[in-house]
Amino acid sequence: MSGRILVVEDEAASAEYVAKGLREHGYVVEAVGDGRDGLYLATSSAFDAIVLDRNLPGMDGLSALKAMRAAGVETPVLILSALGHIDERVKGLRAGGDDYLAKPFGFSELLARLEALMRRRAPGRGEQTKLACADLEMDLLTRRVTRAGKPIELLPREFKILEFLMRNAERVVTRTMLLEHVWDYRFDPHSSLIDTHISRLRKKIDDGFAEPLLHTIRGSGYRLSREA
Give the tens place of pLDDT for each residue, 52-77: 999 999 999 999 999 999 888 889 99
Res. 188: pLDDT tops 70: no
Q: Is the distance from CB of 177 to CB of 221 less than 8 angstroms?
A: yes
Grade residue 1 by pLDDT with cuts at 50, 70 and 90.
Answer: low
Establish if 125 belongs to a structural domain: no
3 state SS of 187: coil
Q: How far apart (Å, rounded) are the C-alpha atoms in residues 125 and 134?
A: 24
Which residues are 27's β-sheet partners?
A: none
Do 103 and 154 belong together in one domain? no
pTM of the full predicted structure? 0.56
Confidence band (pLDDT; 50, 70, 90) for 2?
low
Q: Hey, what amino acid is at 29?
A: V
- The pLDDT score that the predictor gives to residue 179 is 80
In Å, what is the CA distance from 46 to each residue of 129, 179, 195, 196? 12, 18, 25, 26
What is the Cα–Cα distance from 146 to 138, expressed in whole angstroms? 7
The answer on pLDDT for 17 being more than 90 is yes
Looking at per-residue pLDDT, the higher value among 148 and 125 belongs to 148
Separation of alpha carbons 122 and 134, rounded Å: 27
Q: Are residues 137 and 107 in the same domain?
A: no
**Is the pLDDT assigned to residue 228 strictly greater than 80?**
no
One domain for residues 72 and 172: no
What is the arithmetic mean of pLDDT over 118-125?
A: 61
Which of 90, 120, 150 is the last residue in one of the domains? Answer: 120
Of the residues 120, 141, 169, the one at which a domain ends? 120
Q: Is residue 175 part of a domain?
A: yes
Domain hosting residue 166, numbered range: 130-224
Cα of 130 vs its chain's centroid, Å: 15
What is the reported pLDDT for 150?
Answer: 94
Total number of domains in the chain: 2
Listed residue (109, 106, 41, 107) closest to 75, CA to CA = 41
For residue 70, what are the CA distances in angstroms to 28, 41, 129, 130?
Answer: 26, 15, 23, 25
pLDDT at 189 exceeding the cut of 60: no
Q: Please state which of the ranges 130-144, 185-199, 209-223 shows the lowest mean pLDDT.
A: 185-199
On whether both 162 and 99 belong to a single domain, the answer is: no
